[in-house]
């Protein structure tokens, strides 16, 4: 919630919380998800190579491999690789926001591993502590660590219990072979969502990777449809978030180590809620 952090979010409501103008950040459209879409990379390249673009070369480019709050938009591998190459060519730091999709959420520990790239700085949080305690990490290449001891400090640092939980969670993840579990769950979710929920209506769009998936109902005329579905799910024992523009995407973010029967039960609740709502349209 610092001014620096607020300046790099596109959410208007969050930006208003700053109370002052947020500047020195340029936003570029995200990939549309298709394998050959690198238009946003080309836009950045033109800006940087044009001395009259009016935009100075940035210190860093901050990106998500999967837009989570943005509506579960998965960036293609080629897009990630081209972005990495562009930053190297122009000596721009590449910062990966892995707060929501890191820690095995997409399959590998870091979500960018599937593209074979190495960002200069990585942000981690959310699932990191293993038991829901507040914890975050900023990882950086050694040559970027210019802080002197105590230079960047605060009163809410070093939550020891979260550290212990994080270490235990990493050990447990390795013990139960979490990567293979996530892959199994991904295969189930992909098949279930596509064949049983996506088939309910051709206006439904399914997107996701690993264990983060979205059911997009934005193409329906009822802009409250996602909320109605989420409310019914809650009444039937399933808590499900909404995300994306106007909150029209139902976000599936189950525990990584969830039992298969519970995962299927949750998916069935979601399917029945969607089906019941569609009957009233």
Q: What is the pTM of this model?
A: 0.92
- How much is the pLDDT for 92? 97
Mean pLDDT, rounded, for 114-132: 93
The pLDDT confidence band at residue 75, using thresholds 50, 70 and 90, is very high
**Contact partners, residue 13, CB within 8 Å, separation at least 6:** none
End-to-end CA distance of the chain: 40
CA distance 273 to 39: 37
* pLDDT reading at 135 higher than 70: yes
Across the chain, mean pLDDT equals 94
- How much is the pLDDT for 12? 87
Contact predicate 240/275, CB 8 Å: no
Sorted by where each begins, the domain ranges of the chain are 3-175, 178-279
CA distance 64 to 97: 5
| Highest-confidence segment of 17-21, 156-160, 267-271 | 267-271
- How much is the pLDDT for 167? 94
The pLDDT confidence band at residue 6, using thresholds 50, 70 and 90, is very high
| Number of residues that make up the chain | 281
The pLDDT confidence band at residue 2, using thresholds 50, 70 and 90, is confident
Mean pLDDT, rounded, for 29-52: 91
CA distance 27 to 55: 11
Mean pLDDT, rounded, for 106-110: 97
* pLDDT reading at 126 higher than 90: no
* pLDDT reading at 27 higher than 90: yes
* pLDDT reading at 7 higher than 90: yes
Mean pLDDT, rounded, for 171-200: 97
**Contact partners, residue 217, CB within 8 Å, separation at least 6:** 203, 204, 225, 226, 229, 248, 249, 250, 274
Contact predicate 185/177, CB 8 Å: no
Lowest mean pLDDT segment, chosen from 5-19, 175-189, 233-247: 5-19
CATH no. of 3-175: 3.40.640.10
The pLDDT confidence band at residue 1, using thresholds 50, 70 and 90, is confident
The pLDDT confidence band at residue 133, using thresholds 50, 70 and 90, is confident
Per-residue H/E/C for 89-108: HCCCEEEEECCCCCCCCCCC
Q: Which CATH number fits domain 178-279: 3.30.499.10, 3.90.1150.10, 1.10.10.10, 3.40.50.720?
A: 3.90.1150.10
Mean pLDDT, rounded, for 213-231: 97
* pLDDT reading at 188 higher than 90: yes
CA distance 28 to 25: 10
Strand order in the sheet with 212-216: 205-209, 212-216, 249-252, 241-243
* pLDDT reading at 156 higher than 70: no
């Amino acid at each position: 919630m610092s001014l620096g952090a607020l300046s790099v979010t596109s959410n208007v409501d969050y930006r208003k919380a700053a109370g002052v103008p947020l500047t020195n950040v340029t936003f570029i459209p995200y990939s549309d998800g298709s394998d050959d879409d690198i238009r946003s990379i080309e836009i950045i390249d033109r800006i940087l190579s044009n001395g009259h673009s009016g935009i100075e070369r940035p210190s860093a480019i901050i990106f998500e491999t999967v837009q989570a709050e943005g509506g579960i938009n998965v960036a293609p591998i080629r897009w990630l690789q081209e972005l990495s190459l562009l930053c190297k060519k122009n000596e721009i730091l590449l910062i990966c926001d892995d707060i929501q999709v890191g820690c095995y959420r997409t399959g590998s520990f870091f979500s960018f591993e599937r593209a074979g790239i190495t960002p200069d700085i990585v942000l981690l949080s959310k699932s990191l502590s293993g038991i829901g305690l507040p914890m975050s990490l900023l990882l950086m290449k050694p040559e970027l660590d210019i802080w002197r001891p105590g230079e960047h400090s605060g009163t809410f640092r070093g939550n020891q219990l979260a550290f212990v939980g994080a270490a235990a969670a990493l050990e447990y993840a390795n013990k139960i072979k979490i990567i293979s579990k996530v892959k199994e769950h991904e295969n189930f979710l992909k098949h279930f969502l596509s064949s049983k929920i996506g088939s309910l209506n051709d206006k439904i769009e399914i997107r996701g990777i690993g264990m983060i998936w979205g059911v997009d109902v934005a193409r329906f005329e009822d802009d409250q449809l996602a909320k109605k579905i989420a409310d019914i799910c809650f009444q039937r024992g399933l808590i499900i978030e909404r995300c994306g523009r106007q909150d029209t995407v139902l976000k599936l973010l189950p525990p990584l180590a969830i039992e298969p029967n519970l995962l299927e039960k949750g998916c069935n609740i979601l399917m029945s809620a969607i089906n019941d709502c569609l009957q009233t349209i």
